[in-house]
Chain A
Amino acid sequence: MVGLFRIGYKLLVNDRGKFAALIVGITFAVFLMIMMTSMFSGILRRSAATVTNVGATLWVMDPAVNNVLSTIPLPSCILDAVRSIEGVKYAVPLYSGAALIKRGDGVYQAASVIGLDDSSLFGRPELEQGNIEDIYAENGFIVVHDAEFRKLGNPTIGSEFELNDHRGVVVGIAKVATSGLFGIPTLYTTYNRAIQYIPNARFTTSYILIEPKSTSVVPHIQAVVKQLGYDALTRDEFIQRISRFYMYQTGLGTNVLLMAVISFVVGLSISGQTFYTFILENLERFGALKAIGARGSQLIAMILFQASFAALMGYGLGIGLSTLLIHIAQLRLPSYAAMTTYSNLGSAFVMVLIIAAVSSYVGIRKVLRIEPFDIFRG
């Protein structure tokens, strides 16, 4: 069979014009699909940035909360109730809100503020500069050094700003795993300072973060919290809830899905048409092979090999091209949200396999139907 594949390879590759058109079609389809799904993955990842960065095992929230920003403050009694649940090692409040910052140069800038539990600082970020204890200093804030950092005027330790007429001082510069989605800088401070500086409703706790004694007690804790009328979600569950919100309730998922379908249709059309043309132009050769004595199964194997080879080459080039473009874009545009995941690659691979299968099917039907007599007759 190897020899037959070599013939198939040569028939395919040596027809340079057709081969190039075939590869370009599949590459373009893969490129489009990877770009679309990578951007979507990037957006989803960033939408759950706070959850990822804080890193708590369990998050207690109002059942109506569907993303990190739309918090519904919890009564302080819930914190006490949660702390009394069997299996809870500790539980701390977390403040998450938005504030308007007035930079030292007088420019206003919206920012996200995370207030960490004063006693434990649970969920604190890793610092690039400064000491975490300095967060307790008067007006102390830690600035996250992410893509939005420059929007605060590239502050250094000691830089000052205003937040609701309160003075703020940068005491540390932190790095986090994921930047936020909404293009605003992030500040960390203590819980008490956050609720003191930022106007709030009656309740001030955005989330309660729980560290269980063991993973086995998580279902029990979740059940008890449910009885209290709230949800206790694991990190992954919360990220999934946020993803579902953006996918199904914002139109984002539908649009990206449509783009993915369009890229699939474009790829299928270009490569299917090109491959079919390739088969048509080589019909005489396939007929000659049949007349010489090639079995139907041999011709099917050859066509499948040709389609798969072109598809996999286009897949590789498409991935390479999209990865390169994402990398360059991220170098130039730090806030560019795109992330290639294994599921993106997997879905593109499935798409390419379908393209190869459909293209082959059309070609195989044509080749199997041809009568060698037509070739012999000339």
Chain B
Amino acid sequence: MSAVAVRANELVKWFGEGDAKTFAVRGVSFEANFGEMLYVEGPSGSGKTTLLSMISGILRPNSGSVTVQGRDIWNLPADQLADFRLNRIGFVFQDYHLFPRLTTAENVAIPLILRKRDWDESLKQAQRYLEIVGLRERAQLPPVKLSGGEQQRVAIARAIVSAPDILIFDEPTASLDGDTGKRILEFIKKEILNEKRSILVVTHDSRIFPFADRIIRMEDGKITGIVNGGAGGEE
């Protein structure tokens, strides 16, 4: 049995106060394991992005805890929480959020630079990761010169360049056509996922469900079911 990478316990998050108070996540608990590709799926507004934001240390829950290697990340001071995001988490944003004023290699090198690594050394490592995602020859181009699929891969390279053990993808196929989306997920599953890494994917694209090991189904801020991945899935 694989070790637990992240444990979410009774996470609750609401926005607004008084009459405007809206619950986004209502007491959600689950575990994500190393070597696992875990999907969180559900309709728009079901709280899946909010859930993964709390797990990744960028949105403080109103109650509940997120435990990584026995430590509740929400009890960490602000700087240590930032370090946690930098060292343990790799994000691939829905809109990639690449820096258009930097080259592709510089974009990938950002997490290393934030870790105060030498500039040239960071760029060399970024180029190695660009090679992994098949974009080495695009290293000196600005992201705007790349296609959507290529930008996605740059974002993946940026997310994995500092070797985090938890990778989070927010709607990775939202801006891609079906074939490109499938190829990207295939790539992630084959090349990025390993036994020392856990990948969490927020999606409502059923075409990529076959790549999941497990799928958490959410609705109205609650988990309505956890099924095994692959075509059809098993409850």
Q: How far is the CA of A4 from the CA of B110 in the complex (A)?
A: 8
B101 touches A289 (CB 8 A): no
A371 touches B78 (CB 8 A): no
B97 touches A288 (CB 8 A): yes
Q: Mark B73-110, 1 if CB is under 8 A from A, else 0.
A: 00000110011111101010111010101100010011
A293 touches B118 (CB 8 A): no
Interchain residue pairs with CB less than 8 A apart (25):
A3-B112, A3-B118, A3-B119, A7-B106, A10-B102, A11-B102, A288-B93, A290-B58, A291-B58, A291-B85, A291-B91, A292-B86, A293-B111, A294-B86, A295-B79, A295-B82, A296-B79, A298-B114, A372-B58, A373-B58, A375-B93, A376-B53, A376-B58, A378-B94, A378-B95
Taking A291-B93, A293-B85, A296-B78 as known contacts, 4 extra A-B pairs with beta carbons closer than 8 A to each other, sorted by chain A number, are A291-B85, A293-B114, A375-B93, A376-B91
A373 touches B53 (CB 8 A): yes
B116 touches A292 (CB 8 A): no
Q: In the complex, how many residues of chain B place their beta carbon closer than 8 angstroms to a beta carbon of chain A?
A: 38
Residues of A within 8 A of B36 (CB): none
Also in contact, A289 and B119, with CB within 8 A (given A10-B102, A296-B82, A378-B94): no
CB distance from A288 to the nearest CB of B (A): 4
B114 touches A292 (CB 8 A): yes
Q: In the complex, how many residues of chain A place their beta carbon closer than 8 angstroms to a beta carbon of chain B?
A: 30
Residues of A within 8 A of B56 (CB): 376
Interface SS majority for chain A: helix
Give me the interface of A with B, judged by CB distance under 8 Å.
Answer: 1-4, 6-7, 10-11, 14-15, 284-285, 288-298, 371-373, 375-378
Residues of B within 8 A of A3 (CB): 109, 112-113, 116-119, 122
Q: Is B49 an interface residue (CB 8 A)?
A: yes
Q: How far is the CA of A295 from the CA of B99 in the complex (A)?
A: 18
Q: How far is the CA of A154 from the CA of B174 in the complex (A)?
A: 84
Q: Is B170 an interface residue (CB 8 A)?
A: yes
A294 touches B94 (CB 8 A): no
Partner of A373, one of B59, B101, B111: B59
